[in-house]
A and B are shown apart, each in its own frame.
Chain A
Amino acid sequence: MLYDIFIDPFVQMYDMPDFFLQVLWEGFVAGILYALIALGFVLIFKASGVFNFAQGIMVVFAGLTLVGLNENGIPAYLALALTIVAMGVLAYGVERVVMRPLVNQPDIILLMATIGLTYFLIGFGEFVFGGEPKQMITEQLGLPTGSTAIEMGERGLIILQHIDIAAAVIAVIMVTALGIFFNKTRIGRALRAVADDHQAALSVGISLNQIWAIVWFAAGLVALATGIMWGARSDVSFALEIVAFKALPVLILGGFTSIPGAIVGGLIIGFGEKIGELYWGGLVGGGIESWLAYIIALIFLLFRPQGLFGERIIERI
């Protein structure tokens, strides 16, 4: 028993390096996607202090809209443009209808409101596009398909899906762009001011409404990118919603306000989950992927309650 837990998995890793590398790659890709979802959360949290539970559903919603429009005969790129417009409308609507009346409410109320929004979007999405899973229009969008096999001498080969590579590249571009946006632009500074204190930001002449609309729009774009990438790997369906919960441990590892934190957190969860499932999951009957991420986050939290990148909390009274 002890051998199975502490030694056997490592022996396996050594014996079958190709399999191990393949697992690592899977973990990496899953991690990138978690990180992308988490990124949407971070954006909104940074700018409004709202923990946006609807981010997961926004991913599905964006994907559904894109595919749904395409199914109705609209060419892929036009559908993409229209989806971006739709995310803009959604951002404006959320700001207008949900955020503005709830300014300065306690965190938990805002959290609840976004869960309400989740329900609404689920209902709306299913109402308009139907509840059944859909195929992502990967090829029409000019995204690479197919795969490359890399041989490792005599020790087997690893298969890399092109779409996964594309996902990684897009993730890197988006994170860089967002980083520049947050740190170097005027709006970025305003965003950070709003995140710190709504009232103080208002008092120096920052328009909360404008900032929120922008940030929800940015989160919508991130959601769209995530939706495309994720949809290309599996289907576009509401089952994605449960995966979006995984963003929570990711955020907790990385800290709610740190963009690099979201990436690192996503990767840790991605790697941890895949390796745990494939090497240790079998011992308890498999399927541990469903909760392993939370346990990993929990263990980290017990040692660093402020998350990986958070500052040490000094409690004051």
Chain B
Amino acid sequence: MFYREAGQFKTSYKADQALMPILQDRVGLTVILLIAFVAIPAFANDFFLTSIMIPFLVFSLAAIGLNVLTGFCGQLSLGTGAFMGVGAYAAYKLTTIFPDANVIVMVLLSGIFSAAIGAVFGLPSLRIKGLYLAVTTLAAQFFLEWCFIRIPWLYNYNASGAIEVPHREAFGVVVSGAEATPIVRYFIVLCITVAIAYLMANVLRGRIGRSWMMIRDMDIAAELMGIRPLQTKLMAFAVSSYICGVAGAMMVFFWLNAAEPSSYSISLSFQILFMVILGGLGSLGGAFMGAAFIWILPVFLKFIPGTLGIDVAAETVEHVTFMIVGALIIFFLIVEPHGFARLWQIGKQKLRVWPFPY
């Protein structure tokens, strides 16, 4: 009733294979983009931008990156955190070496380094499959984390062992460092995330996206149809790591201002993996939904006791948050193992046939 494509006829293949063939979807997306680009900057306060929107977008991008690898190409990865770290450290080194260059360009370039490293760790995927592959990515995770600690060159021999984002300007505005305003950071993060999401949507609907899904669904059949498994998987590893790397660089440059090796630990990998699974494997929209759930929920939980006027120790809140998040993960897996993306589809179907049950 509310969501009906009746009467929307496609007269060309071009129209039929558009990203959003249905009018209602296009309207919906436009509204979301308007909110993101106009309404939020106009009305949101700094806290909302820095603590909710910027991390949400960064994590969404990382979740898209992991989704390319795990959701679309079917290769389980537990090394996302480290690949994000590679992006962060690469961006940091690049801005040190080229202090005058535009920092946004450096952030985008830093992904190339993590793509290269991701591809190297993707090499064993030709012989190793499934859960066994998890050990490869765990090796990447722990090895890279070790590198972040043990190679002082990476953090410019700082005594603290952490990387601190330098003050940089681009287009006459301060974009990074402590003085950068939340609104500027927000716009940069938003633009990069939206742009990469759009470009990935293009890749995923074409030949390359299909070849990834072929490998995911039935690798043997894919090979018998002319897909080169190694090339295809390596490409997925590289693209995924590129996106994760950019997300990692954004994380330190536009959100945290400083990062330690432990910022990119295995728990970050798991966090991103949760976002992907709960959002829905193999769905770009799901990556955003998953990121929203995993990031925003704990933030809200932290404020519940305060608003209810109950005095609870911060530690206790954190412990309870852990419990609630864990329980909710199990709950959602039971309710809908295919994630929010599937729930959303079911919802759309319901809207289509309303007021009839089916």
Query: Measuring CB to CB, which residues of chain A are less than 8 angstroms from any residue of chain B?
Result: 51, 97-98, 101-102, 105-109, 111-113, 115-124, 126-127, 131, 242, 245, 248-249, 252, 256, 284-288, 290-291, 294-295, 297-298, 301-302, 305, 307, 315, 317
A-B CB contact pairs (8 Å), 13 listed: A108-B76, A112-B277, A113-B333, A115-B270, A116-B329, A120-B322, A123-B324, A127-B316, A127-B323, A248-B134, A295-B143, A298-B139, A305-B129
List residues of chain B with CB within 8 A of the CB of A249: 135, 138
Q: Which residue of A lies closest to B142 (CB)?
A: A291
Contact among A51, A284, A294, A305 with B128 in the assembled complex (CB-CB below 8 Å): A305
Known contacts A123-B322, A245-B138, A305-B128, then 14 further A-B pairs from the complex at CB < 8 Å, ordered by chain A residue: A98-B334, A108-B281, A109-B277, A109-B337, A112-B277, A115-B274, A123-B326, A127-B316, A127-B323, A249-B138, A286-B150, A287-B150, A291-B146, A317-B220
Contact among A248, A285, A302 with B127 in the assembled complex (CB-CB below 8 Å): A302
The 10 closest A-B pairs by CB, nearest first: A123-B322, A119-B326, A120-B326, A116-B329, A294-B139, A123-B323, A291-B142, A127-B319, A291-B143, A116-B330
List residues of chain A with CB within 8 A of the CB of B139: 291, 294-295, 297-298
* Contact status of A298 and B330, CB under 8 A, knowing A120-B322, A122-B322, A317-B221: no
B279-290 toward A: CB 8 Å interface, digit per residue (1/0)? 001000000000
CA separation between A317 and B319, bound complex, in Å? 48
* Contact status of A290 and B127, CB under 8 A, knowing A126-B319, A248-B138: no
Interface residues of B in 117-163 (CB under 8 A from A): 124, 127-132, 134-136, 138-139, 142-143, 145-146, 149-150
Interface residues of B in 258-282 (CB under 8 A from A): 266, 270, 273-274, 277, 281
List residues of chain A with CB within 8 A of the CB of B323: 119-120, 123-124, 127
Contact among A117, A294, A297, A302 with B330 in the assembled complex (CB-CB below 8 Å): A117
Q: Which residue of A lies closest to B265 (CB)?
A: A242
List residues of chain A with CB within 8 A of the CB of B149: 287
CA separation between A108 and B142, bound complex, in Å? 22
Asked if residues B315 and A131 are in contact (CB atoms below 8 Å), the reply is: yes
CA separation between A287 and B326, bound complex, in Å? 31
B15 at the interface (CB under 8 A from A): no
* Contact status of A252 and B135, CB under 8 A, knowing A287-B146, A290-B142, A298-B124: yes
Contact among B135, B322, B333 with A297 in the assembled complex (CB-CB below 8 Å): B135
CA separation between A294 and B221, bound complex, in Å? 31
Asked if residues B220 and A107 are in contact (CB atoms below 8 Å), the reply is: no
Q: Which residue of A lies closest to B152 (CB)?
A: A285
List residues of chain A with CB within 8 A of the CB of B330: 97-98, 113, 116-117, 120
B321 at the interface (CB under 8 A from A): yes
Asked if residues A305 and B143 are in contact (CB atoms below 8 Å), the reply is: no
List residues of chain B with CB within 8 A of the CB of A102: 333-334, 337
List residues of chain A with CB within 8 A of the CB of B319: 123-124, 126-127, 131
Asked if residues B316 and A290 are in contact (CB atoms below 8 Å), the reply is: no
Asked if residues B270 and A105 are in contact (CB atoms below 8 Å), the reply is: no
B174 at the interface (CB under 8 A from A): no
Asked if residues A288 and B146 are in contact (CB atoms below 8 Å), the reply is: yes
CA separation between A245 and B142, bound complex, in Å? 10
Asked if residues A121 and B142 are in contact (CB atoms below 8 Å), the reply is: no
B320 at the interface (CB under 8 A from A): yes
B325 at the interface (CB under 8 A from A): yes
A154 CB → nearest B CB, Å: 38
A268 CB → nearest B CB, Å: 14
B327 at the interface (CB under 8 A from A): yes
Asked if residues A109 and B333 are in contact (CB atoms below 8 Å), the reply is: yes
B153 CB → nearest A CB, Å: 12
CA separation between A120 and B220, bound complex, in Å? 38
Contact among A97, A105, A288, A301 with B135 in the assembled complex (CB-CB below 8 Å): A301
Q: Which residue of A lies closest to B131 (CB)?
A: A51
Asked if residues B320 and A245 are in contact (CB atoms below 8 Å), the reply is: no
List residues of chain A with CB within 8 A of the CB of B324: 123
List residues of chain B with CB within 8 A of the CB of A113: 329-330, 333-334
Asked if residues B322 and A290 are in contact (CB atoms below 8 Å), the reply is: no
CA separation between A275 and B327, bound complex, in Å? 41
A241 CB → nearest B CB, Å: 10
A302 CB → nearest B CB, Å: 6
CA separation between A97 and B325, bound complex, in Å? 15
Asked if residues A108 and B333 are in contact (CB atoms below 8 Å), the reply is: no
Q: Which residue of A lies closest to B327 (CB)?
A: A120
B338 CB → nearest A CB, Å: 9
CA separation between A290 and B138, bound complex, in Å? 11
CA separation between A252 and B321, bound complex, in Å? 33
CA separation between A123 and B149, bound complex, in Å? 28
Contact among B127, B142, B277, B325 with A301 in the assembled complex (CB-CB below 8 Å): B127
List residues of chain B with CB within 8 A of the CB of A109: 277, 333, 337
B347 CB → nearest A CB, Å: 21
List residues of chain A with CB within 8 A of the CB of B135: 248-249, 252, 294, 297-298, 301
B298 CB → nearest A CB, Å: 11
Interface residues of B in 42-79 (CB under 8 A from A): 76
CA separation between A285 and B274, bound complex, in Å? 34
List residues of chain B with CB within 8 A of the CB of A117: 326, 330
Asked if residues A285 and B150 are in contact (CB atoms below 8 Å), the reply is: yes
